[in-house]
Amino acid sequence: MSERTRDERISILLKLLVQRGELKVCSLPAILGASGATVRRDLAVMEEKGLIRRSYGKVAAAGSSAELPVSLRHSLNIEAKRRIGALASSLIPYRPLTLALSGGSTVRFVARNLAGRADLTVVTNGLDTAASLLSRQAVDVIVTGGHARPLSNDLVGKAAEKTLRSCRFDYAIVGADGISPEAGITRHSGSGAGIDRIMLEQADHRIVVADSSKLGRTHAAKIADLDSVQAIVTDSHADPALVAALRRIGLAVTLVVVPPAARK
C-alpha cells in the first residue's frame, strides 16, 4: 500500500476529530500508518493553519466547523471528481451560452472540461475555477468582485452578489458540502451558500455536482431546497437508498462509475 500524502493524513485526522472530539497524540502513528516524526510535522502544519488545538498529549479540533482548506479538498476523491466534472460538462449544449460556476474542488474539474469552449461566457466567484477556465484562453471569463475566503479561494460579499444579480444564466453549476432529502443542499459557509443560492436563482437550468461523500450530510448553511435544482451529478459509491430518495423527489441523479480502487 502506498504511503498517504500529508493532505490525506490531515483529512483523516480532521474527520476523526469531528467524530471523537479529541485524540491522543501517541495513538496517531498507528492510526495514520506514519512515523512519529511525520505525525509531529503534520500536527505542526495543522496548528499553524488554525485547524487544531494541542494540550497535554492530546489534540482537538480548533472549532466546530469541519470545513477543510481547499488545498486539502483538491486531493480527496480525485478520480470521482474528475469523472463528475467530465459528465457534468457534457450536459452543457454546444451553442453560445452564459454559465455560472461556483468555486470548489469538484466544480474545478467541470471548468477544466469546459476550458476549450469558445462559445461560452462563464461568470464565477471561484478563483480556482477561473484559473482552470483560463488555461486554454477560449472561454470568456467574468470574475465577480468580493472578499476572498482563504479556506475556499472564492469571493463572497455584496460585490459578488451584485455581479451575479445583474446576470441571467442559461446554466448554473454549483458544488455542495452536504446533500440530503431532509435538509436540501448545504454548505459550511453561510456567505458561500448565499452566493451559490443567487447563482441558482438566476439560472434557467440548475445542476449540483458533489462526490458521494457529500450525500447524506447536512451543514449549517443552506443553499437551496432540492426542488429548486433539476440535476445532481455524483459517483457510484453513493448510498443507493439516498439516491432512490433523491430520485423520488423528481431529481435527475446521474452516477459516474468509479472503481473502488480509484476512490481516494
6-66 CATH, one of 2.40.160.20, 1.10.287.110, 1.10.10.10, 3.40.50.720: 1.10.10.10
Rounded CA gap, 81 and 70, in Å? 14
What is the rounded average pLDDT of the residues 22-31? 91
The DSSP H or E segment spanning 125 is none
Rounded CA gap, 20 and 143, in Å? 40
52: Cα separation from own chain's centroid: 21
With bands split at pLDDT 50, 70 and 90, how would you rate the model's confidence at 1? very low
State pLDDT tens for residues 174-205. Answer: 999 999 999 999 998 899 999 999 999 999 99
With bands split at pLDDT 50, 70 and 90, how would you rate the model's confidence at 261? low
Query: Is there a common fold for 6-66 and 72-262?
Result: no
pTM of the model: 0.78
Rounded CA gap, 24 and 148, in Å? 35
With bands split at pLDDT 50, 70 and 90, how would you rate the model's confidence at 257? very high
State pLDDT tens for residues 220-240. Answer: 899 999 999 999 999 999 999
With bands split at pLDDT 50, 70 and 90, how would you rate the model's confidence at 71? low
Task: Please tell me the class of the 72-262 domain.
Answer: alpha beta
pLDDT at 52: 82
Rounded CA gap, 46 and 86, in Å? 33
Distances (CA, A) of 77 to 30, 138, 161: 23, 28, 30
Q: Write the secondary structure of 159-219 as one string of H (helix), E (strand) and C (coil).
A: HHHHHHHCCCEEEEEEECCEEECCCEEEECCHHHHHHHHHHHHCEEEEEEECCHHHECCCC
Domain ranges within the chain, ordered by starting residue: 6-66, 72-262
